[in-house]
Each structure stands twice: as structure tokens, then as C-alpha cells.
Amino acid sequence: MKAIADLQGKLEVAAGQMRSEPRQKNIDVTLGLIQKHFVDKEPPVLDHGAGSAIPFENAIRRSRIESSAFECKQGLLRLDDKRAPDDGLVDKIIETICGIANIGPDSSGAVFIGVADKKSDRDRIVELDKIAAAEVSSRYVVGSTVRWR
């Protein structure tokens, strides 16, 4: 959590569609802050770039009903005016990851952090953070995600 403190202030934010170059810079900034907290793996766990958009959208479409393999969280911060960290959320995410890992060695899953499944959450995030949320199926992309196999 300390590594990503004030992340929003370090990113380039644009209303509507963002070009590839600023988006890539935002990804690079984020990865630079968090990469030392992950174990190296080949192939890389954190895929990014234009090629990851289609698998990401497809995974969200497949997860229309949250199952033991997919979970959506609108973000790590509360939706109140203070935008304080949501105490206990990291523990819930870790429990979810452990549950997905226990499905079996040949399965995969995802925790989508920054994907709201309620329109009211999307509306509140748009209001608080002044962002444009992308709608994918019945979900709203309002931030970043982490995916693994």
C-alpha cells in the first residue's frame, strides 16, 4: 500500500479515450512502484500493452457472474469523501487468491481490482476521481487489474 500511495497524482489522467503513449507511461510508473513486491516469473505475470486489452475484456465478459475463479473489486479505497484505504480489503483479496489457487493446478483465475460491478459505484468513482469509466458487458472499468495463471 505504501508503494502506491498517491499513485493517482503520479499518473497522466485524461477524460475519455487516452492515447497509447500516455497509457504506457502510466503503466510503466505503476510497475516501477510495485515490481519489487512481486516474484519474477517467466512468462511475466503482469502482461500489459495493447495486446492485453482483448484478453482483459474477454475475461470480464466470462466473469459476468462472479465465481470461485473471478472476483471484482472497485478499488482499494473507500468511496467516501476521504478516499481512505478500505481496511480489511487486502485480506479479503488474499483469501480470494488462495481460493482461486485451490481450484487446481491447471486452472486460472483473476481478481479485477478497479472493476466495479455496480453502476452506483461507477458513478461515485467518476464523481470522486474525475475519470471516464469504460463499460464492458455489465461491468465498469474504473482502475487497474492484476491477472495471473
- The CA distance from 119 to 13, in Å, is 21
All three cell numbers of 133, joined, read 469509466
- The CA distance from 57 to 147, in Å, is 12
Q: What is the mean pLDDT of the chain?
A: 78
Reported as a single tens digit per residue, the pLDDT across 50-85 is 556 667 777 777 666 656 677 888 988 999 998 889
DSSP reduced 3-state for 67: strand
User: What's CA 46's distance to the chain center, in Å?
Assistant: 11
The per-residue pLDDT for 18 is: 64
**pLDDT exceeds 70 at position 44:** no
DSSP state letter for 18: -
- Residue keyed to cell 459505484: 121
> Taking a C-beta distance cutoff of 8 angstroms, is the pair 129, 122 a contact?
no
The per-residue pLDDT for 122 is: 93
User: What's CA 117's distance to the chain center, in Å?
Assistant: 12
Reported as a single tens digit per residue, the pLDDT across 19-42 is 778 878 888 888 888 888 765 555
Domain ranges of the chain: 7-148
